Amino acid sequence: MDIVGPLGKPTEIDRYGTVCCIGGGVGTAVVYPVARSLKEKGNYLISIIGARTEKLIILEEEMREISDELYITTDDGSKGLKGFVTDALKNILNEGRKIDFVFTAGPVIMMKAVSEVTRPYGIKTIVSLNPIMVDGTGMCGACRVEVGGETKFACVDGPDFDGHKVNFDLLMNRLQMYLEMEKRADADVKA
């Protein structure tokens, strides 16, 4: 087995002011180094991490150490706010707090929901996409995504994109094509 990487373009780290980093499930592993770098750049860091249940929350202590504020959500209410990461984000925005920049990684449906919450506020929202990548060169097209009406490849043009420009519906439909193969691969691993 060969490992290749890093692929794509580096995440843009800048001083924005108040930033909110949102991780859903294993997406928190992607969010953590970005959040840490944004904090080191001098930003006020609000972190929101969520999962289906308390047992699936990862990197809680690491995120707590670097965050000015940390919010935890679980779908079942076993830890933190019962609900989704978007519920915590809405609560913060409904308090009239200003957020200058959002970075998020996790399930595609979650990143779509985060982008829809931030859209009316005009908050720059970057999503880190992780569709299936086969060759990592943009030649196979497996990781293609429509961004601002243009075809992009997550492996070479991403993985970070403006969440307000991503065609999430098309992306989710494309990801469904691989579902059966993923189930078979998972069954093979468990066997």
Check whether 88 has a pLDDT greater than 80: yes
Check whether 1 has a pLDDT greater than 70: no
Confidence tier at 116 by pLDDT (50, 70, 90) = very high
Q: What is the pLDDT of residues 117-170, one digit of tens each?
A: 999 999 999 999 987 777 777 788 888 999 999 999 999 999 999 999 999 999
Domains detected in the chain: 18-190 (3.40.50.80)
DSSP 33-83: HHHHHHHHTT-EEEEEEEESSGGG--SHHHHHHH-SEEEEEETTSSSSEES
Average pLDDT over residues 22-34: 97
Q: How far apart (Å, rounded) are the C-alpha atoms in residues 19 and 29? A: 17
Give the tokens for residue 158: 């991403």
DSSP 132-178: --SSSSSSS-TTEEEETTEEEEHHHH-SEEETTTB-HHHHHHHHHTT
Q: What is the pLDDT of residues 13-23, one digit of tens each?
A: 999 999 999 99
Check whether 9 has a pLDDT greater than 80: yes
pLDDT of residue 5: 67
Average pLDDT over residues 21-41: 98
